[in-house]
Amino acid sequence: DTAVSQTPKYLVTQMGNDKSIKCEQNLGHDTMYWYKQDSKKFLKIMFSYNNKELIINETVPNRFSPKSPDKAHLNLHINSLELGDSAVYFCASRREVGSNTGELFFGEGSRLTVL
Amino acid sequence: AQSVTQLDSQVPVFEEAPVELRCNYSSSVSVYLFWYVQYPNQGLQLLLKYLSGSTLVKSINGFEAEFNKSQTSFHLRKPSVHISDTAEYFCAVSDRVKRASGSRLTFGEGTQLTVNP
């Protein structure tokens, strides 16, 4: 069983469209994250949710809206897609709440290409 | 605030040669340190971590890293690499401050290790 699963794995779309990426973790973790990896492989945190509550919201355009229906799911919706949104988006999860020792478990990534 | 610097963006080596991937960090508080590995078209996997205790930590596949507080470094080493070690390696730091908002892992920019036959 995949611990952190993301769908779709690949997404090609036109500028201006709206798209969603879904993430599910079956590890029983409390905290989930979205990271963006650009073409130079640089990883940047976007959002973090703990038990469905937003706890980290980096400087991300408000075209990006995370939604957590329950603590096992964290979806990412992107409105009005732009060329610069092309990247690989990684979902991750972590067990501890208020603790820094837990490792992050990553999904395999969703490669978004905006044409 | 914390930051991580990986000093080499690319490291090409021959099979069975030793390798060192360098990582330096900056933080105003005590930290936990991690190395993650990303194989092509895959997500990141934890390779090893330093939380406390012995400053030398080891992975199951022969990598090791040493926490050096005075030099604020956490370099990754392997005495003899295999072609299958070809991947992107990320150093990461997390501060030890407990907060309701949780913690964040700050990543370095990655080092591409390429092992050639």
Place of tokens 């990412």: A76
Looking at residue B77, its amino acid is R
Strands B56-58 and B64-68: antiparallel
Q: For Cα atoms A105, A107, A113, give the angle at the middle one, nearest 5 degrees.
A: 145
CA distances from A109 to A75, A106, B31 (A): 13, 8, 27
pLDDT at A97 over 60: no
Asked if residues A48 and B104 have their Cβ atoms less than 8 Å apart, the reply is yes
Q: Does B33 score more than 60 pLDDT? A: yes
Residue B51 forms contact with A (CB below 8 Å): yes
Name the average pLDDT for chain B.
Answer: 91
For residue range A29-65, list pLDDT tens digits in order: 888 999 999 988 899 989 888 877 887 777 789 999 9
SS3 B83: helix
Query: Which tops the pLDDT comparison, B100 or A52?
Result: A52
Contact indicator for B79, B11 with CB cutoff of 8 Å:
no
Show residues of chain B in contact with A98, CB under 8 Å: 98-100, 102
Q: Where are the beta strands (DSSP E) in B1-117?
A: 2-6, 10-14, 19-21, 23-27, 31-38, 44-50, 56-58, 64-68, 73-78, 87-95, 106-107, 111-116
Contact B110 A42 (CB under 8 A): yes
A95 membership: H or E segment, kind and range: none
Mean pLDDT over A3-31 rounds to 95
Higher pLDDT, A57 or B17: B17
Q: Is B70 on the interface with A (CB under 8 A)?
A: no
The shortest C-alpha distance from A8 to chain B (Å) reads 14
Determine whether the interchain pair A100/B101 forms a contact, defined as Cβ–Cβ distance below 8 Å: no
Strands A110-114 and A10-13, sheet pairing: parallel
- DSSP 8-class letter at B85: G
Q: Which residues of B touch A109 (CB under 8 A)?
A: 41-43
